[in-house]
Structure 1
């Protein structure tokens, strides 16, 4: 290679990259390495953060009513920080899986309850469900009623007037009695003869013509009849409100669904076993030697909910010759057979003994209102009744459009009731059942819910009455007979959704009542006999929803009330056997009403009705030892019922109810005269109920109830009247709920202003004893402690 070439080559090697360029490249390498390092650090940081986010937990909770520890279904649960929501299921449960560990604000809201806010910690460790106890706010109305149609449905969809008394309202009245609770409902009047369990109930003036017991009103407990096959409820000793969850009242004839003797319906619904097991001890004490002890066990185990309630009641009474001793045992078992089927068992037993003070004349009332009736004291009038009852109810659903329910019951009753001149003595076995099948089917564009049903009721009574020898059985036999009563019925109901705003309902019922008496007292001849009554009853009704908050309804319905066993079992000839002349009462009702509701704020309802009764059965005022009955009247019942409530301010609420009753005999002639155009005795023209209640979130509450009742006539001639009266009751209490126990205190003053009045009127008493005086001012207190486990 030439020297020049070599030199050239050497020269080229020395003339490589410029030092400045090398510096630039080095800087780039350093920058890229720094970027890579930063990326690695960022990745490491992200990975660490991601690793921290993996730490999650699960929030599991149960939402319960603080008072009864029952699930608050459909409550809305919100986690405030992240905005997540969940709905509480029928068992009261909810869950939020996959929550980052930490502390959250949980907000729970439900209709009828105060919004609950609590701070809850979520950790990785699995923890027990958190219990959230919700306290009720002043409740204005209940959303759902089941008695009217047999199927749960919103109240605003019903085509007739109904009333509901919830467990919150019962909490301060159940210690007083069934009459105190029912008097809150417009159109319903309930009176207690004394401080025993003799209560008379009338709905829109029906059921007044009886000196004891209840007639023309279908009394139910969990859908099981308390009334006999002829519609008479001779006693209410089997009903104990301490295990009642709510009362549902349907006003007006309901023969289209419930058959004979249902000019109104009262259904007492007992509480189910609690979602959280508990045991409760409760003591009530008050004036006139009142003392009541209660024990309750409630809970669930797997598919079974259970309730057991026992009470003992002792009371000396306000009047002479008046006391009460009563034992009650109520139990309920709800067994879930599957997702859509269940079986419920009921067992109730009662043993009651009471002395009866009797009714007083106006002169006796003025002389000494606390004295006993002369005749009731002379004959040592008492009521001694024992009873045992078993019932079962099966429910099955197929999808959302088919359901089947079947009810069966058996009851055994022993009674010894010495009253003036006669010692009533006997025993009765009763059994019956009801089967109904409901299905939904569209007919054209109309959505229909059809219900087909059949019912059977039978009573077998062995009756042997004696002379009353100062409260003991005398030698003379006044009655010796066997009574067989049968009530069968078939019914068809169709609830139609014509449009989104218009509902229509039709009902048909064929009822057949058979009464047979076999007479074994043959000294005055054989008076055995039987009577048969039957009728096809109907009901048409419609509801129109103008707005979600406002609806109007109207209905036309018929009633069928055959003579009760007491009425038909008193022969006008003074012998045993049947009254051959009595006919069933027939009634037709026309009603229009409406309901306006603004949730949590106000509700208003009204009902305007006209009820026409033909062949009304009335007492004759004659007969010995007990008076007899005849069909003698055509009656007209015109009425207006108004009800309403409002949350006035925060924890202050008001409820009111007004009843206007223009009830009179259109035609009534008997052996004592012509009473056409006279007012029907036993019911006031005007009656007002008002209740003001304050409930603080701390658990303190107080309330004032007022009832104003107008003048009440006591006889058909309208010559004897019970003066109008106003009575006020005050109560105050404190409820405190903890996670594992609760304490509830109540103090109540009845007849706050110490008025002297008589709420129970015996219509057309043949001895002039029209009045049962009510107690003057009296006090009641209670202490209840529950432990949850």
Structure 2
């Protein structure tokens, strides 16, 4: 650590001595093209809504390539919190959507190479993103996201790179604090007209907190080629395996303050842990018919999970806890598949540049789900008697129409999607005590969106966007009813009305500014009703109101210096009184899990083409942890990170080295919160000062 600290202080001086050489010609890309929203490649500056693209360099330069939070923190409107818990995945919210998620990502549509990383009911897993193969990540916020169907409070799409250029192979190793190591092998390029990308990695960590070790194995394979001059095809396979990932659970405030690395005794007593085996295969086909384009996507996969929870087998009174038998251990085998067909048709007879898009998206997931007790003869943390056995199916079938029209200085994008999500439960565990809990529920709604932009000048665009969206309960949120053991089919979807007004400006050739104000009103917001003995139930609250401001600035200050800033101010409150578990929640209370202020800034220095270094800073205001706002809020914090990457080329070889220091000032802070935890274990501590160092080599044939 002392050596790394000394190196950090000496590096700017050493680089200044060699600053006579010309800097790399690669400048910050201020106007990237995206397909999210318009469904065809368009510069972000010309699109009438909030959408950002994160480049391959931003994803990989000085980063670890482990968690999407490394890249997504630079996007306004997003709050991405690393739980330091690989059993529960990242916590991601977009303008407040998804903040209440106790595990994984919900309320935001996750897509990788056209394959949904979210189930039709809205539960997603960002861990399936393979950052080592990413070409770019696109992030869409606001009303235009509703054109992606239910549970699309925002859209995050990752696109892997195509195999191009001469074939090459590479290897990389990375080590760091808390026993972290990552080993990575790759091969990519093109041969005989076929591009290929092959990638495999293993990440191990002891975890910052006690009882939080994890091993993650990821593999990826992609073939891309052109069957003929008018078409292109890609075949994509990926897998994720995590065996015995430990779950440290949340912490009470007193436990966190006493020892931020501590865990609840329940985590140790029940040996809370989770294993995941995820595999998926997909294909993307695109064909041109004159000016028209046909896009076809199909995918299939499987996911097996077994999770050991801390649901107690008995209440403190000694009475048996029925929730333990139904879900002390959760296991399921999921089959998922689906596809989409999109037709993009330019209308040459119309004035200006008009393209009509018609599409149909189909997605289905089927879980063969069991629940077991986690106690056998007084021994905890083992699979006990079966108490739940069912087939849970979620299906969505969504047709949509969309128009993209450029007419002089005006740009219009409008669309309508008919979203349908059907949830089916086929109960196989029927006893005299536990009756048949089978049933089904269908949620459907038309979600329109319209966005209009006007070009005041070639470098100043203003836009207005409006839309309606809706968010269905997930199967996990519907799994328990407060009045019975069966599913809570009484839950209604929450319905939102969204407005956005924005400006996009280019200042000279080197600076890009995006600013937006937005308002979101929601009816029947889904909130935690009660969480007792490990069983969590949900209810519909009244109205919520979210008003906010986002600002993004990217600037190439000089040939060697560039900067990036992302600022969000969000006021997310309940807009009506309601009662939750006998507690009065007043109008004006803040939504838990949503910071009011988020700021990310970085300063990059690239004095020569073989080295780059940057300082990152992040601020988040305090976060409330439950609806009454009476429990201790997670305090505001500021952290600073430093990173550097070096590269050398020797004939066919390319070598690179990475150094990174996170939390330079060694601040103790709460990195994420568990909303509404009944045991008051709301808080998840973030690591103190952490170091990482890596090196890799690539050989080009």
Q: Give your verdict on TM over 0.5.
A: yes
Tell whether 2:219 aligns with 1:329. Answer: yes
Describe the shift of the 1:507–1:701 C-alpha distance in structure 2 as closer, same or farther (beyond 3 A): same
Match of 1:381 in 2: 272
Determine the C-alpha separation between the residues in 1 that align with 2:675 and 2:127.
Answer: 23
Contact kept, 8 Å, 1:735 with 1:743, in 2: the verdict is yes
- Secondary structure of 1:180 counterpart: helix
Match of 1:245 in 2: 135
- Secondary structure of 1:633 counterpart: coil
Matches within 5 A, 1:199-214: 199-214=90-105
Tell whether 2:183 aligns with 1:293. Answer: yes
Determine the C-alpha separation between the residues in 2 that align with 1:613 and 1:472.
Answer: 40
Tell whether 2:481 aligns with 1:571. Answer: yes
Tell whether 2:652 aligns with 1:763. Answer: no
Describe the shift of the 1:195–1:138 C-alpha distance in structure 2 as closer, same or farther (beyond 3 A): farther
Match of 2:52 in 1: 163
Tell whether 2:654 aligns with 1:742. Answer: yes
Most deviating of 663-672 and 250-259: 250-259
Determine the C-alpha separation between the residues in 2 that align with 1:782 and 1:364.
Answer: 34
Count of paired positions: 654
Describe the shift of the 1:585–1:403 C-alpha distance in structure 2 as closer, same or farther (beyond 3 A): same
TM score, norm. by length of structure 2? 0.91
Match of 1:185 in 2: 75
Pick from 519, 539, 542: which aligns with 1:630? 539
Match of 1:44 in 2: none
Pick from 405, 413, 416: which aligns with 1:496? 405
Higher-Rg structure is: 1
Pick from 654, 660, 674: which aligns with 2:563? 654
Tell whether 2:287 aligns with 1:396. Answer: yes
Alpha-carbon deviation of 1:375? 1.5
Matches within 5 A, 1:195-344: 195-196=85-86, 198-233=89-124, 235-254=125-144, 256-344=146-234
Most deviating of 469-478 and 632-641: 469-478
Determine the C-alpha separation between the residues in 1 that align with 2:168 and 2:626.
Answer: 52
Tell whether 2:414 aligns with 1:539. Answer: no
Q: Deviations over 1:716-744 (max 9, x none)?
A: 11122111100000112212234522111
TM score, norm. by length of structure 1? 0.81
Tell whether 2:552 aligns with 1:675. Answer: no
Contact kept, 8 Å, 1:483 with 1:515, in 2: the verdict is yes
CA RMSD of superposed structures (Å):
1.7
Matches within 5 A, 1:113-192: 135=24, 137-171=26-60, 172-175=62-65, 177-192=67-82
Determine the C-alpha separation between the residues in 1 that align with 2:464 and 2:373.
Answer: 52
Structure of higher RCO (CA pairs closer than 8 Å, 6+ residues apart): 2
Contact kept, 8 Å, 1:237 with 1:352, in 2: the verdict is no
Alpha-carbon deviation of 1:600? 4.6
- Secondary structure of 2:530 counterpart: coil
Describe the shift of the 1:476–1:292 C-alpha distance in structure 2 as closer, same or farther (beyond 3 A): same
Tell whether 2:420 aligns with 1:512. Answer: yes
- Secondary structure of 1:462 counterpart: strand
Match of 1:583 in 2: 492
Pick from 81, 84, 97: which aligns with 1:194? 84
Contact kept, 8 Å, 2:143 with 2:499, in 1: the verdict is no
Describe the shift of the 1:219–1:698 C-alpha distance in structure 2 as closer, same or farther (beyond 3 A): closer
Match of 1:433 in 2: 339
- Secondary structure of 1:237 counterpart: helix
Determine the C-alpha separation between the residues in 2 that align with 1:243 and 1:497.
Answer: 34
Match of 2:689 in 1: 777
Alpha-carbon deviation of 1:516? 0.6
Match of 1:80 in 2: none
Pick from 323, 342, 355: which aligns with 2:246? 355
Alpha-carbon deviation of 1:327? 0.9
Contact kept, 8 Å, 1:687 with 1:707, in 2: the verdict is yes
Most deviating of 254-263 and 364-373: 254-263
Determine the C-alpha separation between the residues in 1 that align with 2:263 and 2:599.
Answer: 30
- Secondary structure of 1:567 counterpart: helix
Alpha-carbon deviation of 1:237? 3.4
Alpha-carbon deviation of 1:236? 3.3
Match of 2:618 in 1: 707
Alpha-carbon deviation of 1:229? 1.1
Most deviating of 615-624 and 752-761: 615-624
Contact kept, 8 Å, 2:284 with 2:295, in 1: the verdict is yes
Most deviating of 250-259 and 317-326: 250-259
List runs of 5+ in structure 1 lacking aligned partners.
1-115, 118-133
Q: Deviations over 1:322-372 (max 9, x none)?
A: 101111111111011122201110001121121111100101111111111
Describe the shift of the 1:254–1:431 C-alpha distance in structure 2 as closer, same or farther (beyond 3 A): farther
Q: Deviations over 1:638-658 (max 9, x none)?
A: 000001022223301111111
- Secondary structure of 1:560 counterpart: strand
Q: Deviations over 1:631-683 (max 9, x none)?
A: 01311110000010222233011111111011110014123113211111111
Pick from 357, 362, 367: which aligns with 1:451? 357
Alpha-carbon deviation of 1:746? 0.8
Q: Deviations over 1:293-325 (max 9, x none)?
A: 000000111221000000011111111111011
Match of 1:420 in 2: 310
Pick from 601, 605, 611: which aligns with 2:514? 605
Contact kept, 8 Å, 2:358 with 2:402, in 1: the verdict is yes
Determine the C-alpha separation between the residues in 1 that align with 2:73 and 2:41.
Answer: 25
Pick from 723, 728, 732: which aligns with 2:640? 728
Contact kept, 8 Å, 2:110 with 2:126, in 1: the verdict is no
Alpha-carbon deviation of 1:239? 2.0
Describe the shift of the 1:309–1:561 C-alpha distance in structure 2 as closer, same or farther (beyond 3 A): same
Match of 2:10 in 1: none
- Secondary structure of 2:53 counterpart: strand
Q: Deviations over 1:613-640 (max 9, x none)?
A: 1111001133443210000131111000
Alpha-carbon deviation of 1:572? 2.0
- Secondary structure of 1:257 counterpart: helix
Describe the shift of the 1:771–1:574 C-alpha distance in structure 2 as closer, same or farther (beyond 3 A): farther
Determine the C-alpha separation between the residues in 2 that align with 1:195 and 1:472.
Answer: 18
- Secondary structure of 1:620 counterpart: strand
Contact kept, 8 Å, 2:269 with 2:381, in 1: the verdict is no
Determine the C-alpha separation between the residues in 2 that align with 1:174 and 1:358.
Answer: 24
Pick from 713, 716, 721: which aligns with 2:627? 716
Determine the C-alpha separation between the residues in 1 that align with 2:386 and 2:25.
Answer: 58
Describe the shift of the 1:173–1:733 C-alpha distance in structure 2 as closer, same or farther (beyond 3 A): closer
Determine the C-alpha separation between the residues in 2 that align with 1:614 and 1:658.
Answer: 27
Describe the shift of the 1:595–1:739 C-alpha distance in structure 2 as closer, same or farther (beyond 3 A): farther
Determine the C-alpha separation between the residues in 2 that align with 1:540 and 1:690.
Answer: 32
Describe the shift of the 1:429–1:599 C-alpha distance in structure 2 as closer, same or farther (beyond 3 A): farther
Contact kept, 8 Å, 1:417 with 1:424, in 2: the verdict is yes
Describe the shift of the 1:162–1:713 C-alpha distance in structure 2 as closer, same or farther (beyond 3 A): same
Match of 1:467 in 2: 373
Describe the shift of the 1:136–1:318 C-alpha distance in structure 2 as closer, same or farther (beyond 3 A): farther
Alpha-carbon deviation of 1:580? 2.3
Contact kept, 8 Å, 1:689 with 1:707, in 2: the verdict is yes
Contact kept, 8 Å, 1:603 with 1:645, in 2: the verdict is yes
